[in-house]
Structure 1
Amino acid sequence: MSARQVRSRWSNAVLVCRKCEKKIKGGGFGPEGNKSLGKALRKHLQLGKGRKAGAGILEVGCLDICPKRAVTVVDTSKPDRWLIIHPGANLDVLAHDLGLRNKS
């Protein structure tokens, strides 16, 4: 049986360590500082979820970096450059660094 293809509208994909997110109590991201990084980025950029979104922000298992009070993020277009993001980070700057754009 051959592989089947499924299309998506993603311009790029970002991997966010779920374990790092859980270690930060209360989320730490977004305007009120109460969301996980993945959810805050999706909402800030109005991306939505799933393969029909403009970009993929995927929460994945442990990436084995485990920074204290921060989240590990991988931009799949630059797999050799991992980012450590601290709570309260400017989401506009982060989105620019990751090559993510608003839906509109």
Structure 2
Amino acid sequence: MKKARAQWRGAVLVCAKCSKKVDGGFGPKGRDRLAKALRREPGFGKGRKANMGVAEVKCLGICPKNAVVVIDTRRPDEWLVVPAGADVALLTERLG
């Protein structure tokens, strides 16, 4: 088995089903999915060289109305419900 190095200190899991239901709602113009908006923030990304990885996963089972479920893998006991249109910069500070 081979190994690949990654610089991730942790990962942020974003529910893809919630993101699809919200139909964007994040980013500067409010058209981006939450995962895409998070990847643009400094330190976040999807490549293995990012400090914090952002990955969209299938349904997490909560399915809130007009919001997206997010899990920080460093704190798996705290699931965040992020309402559509929330400030992504504040979310990145919280995920830090």
Question: Are residue 30 (structure 1) and residue 24 (structure 2) matched?
Answer: no
State the shift of 1:36 in Å.
0.2
For the pair shown, the structure with the greater C-alpha radius of gyration is 1
TM-score by length of 2: 0.91
Structure number having the greater strand percentage:
2
TM-score, length basis structure 1? 0.84
36-45 vs 47-56, which moves further:
47-56
Q: How does 1:7-22 map to 2 (within 5 A)?
A: 7-22=5-20
Query: What CA distance in whole angstroms lies between the structure 1 residues aligned with 2:8 and 2:43?
Result: 13
Residues 29 and 88, structure 1, Cα contact 8 Å, conserved in 2: yes
**Closer, same or farther in 2 for the Cα pair 1:77/1:8, shift >3 Å?**
same
Distance 2:86 2:77 in 1: 22
Matched, 1:66 2:63: yes
CA RMSD of aligned residues (A): 1.4
8 Å CA contact 2:14, 2:69 repeated in 1: yes
1:56 is displaced (CA, Å) by 0.4
Deviations 1:25-70 (A, max 9, x none): 2x00001000000001111336443212221000000000000010
Stretches of structure 2 that go unaligned for 5 or more consecutive residues are none
How far apart are residue 5 of structure 1 and its match?
2.8
Alignment of 1:30-49 (within 5 A): 30-45=27-42, 47-49=44-46
Counterpart residue number, 1:102: none
- Distance change >3 Å, CA 97–CA 46, structure 1 → 2: closer
Specify the SS of the correspondent of 2:41: helix
The count of residues paired between Structure 1 and Structure 2 equals 96
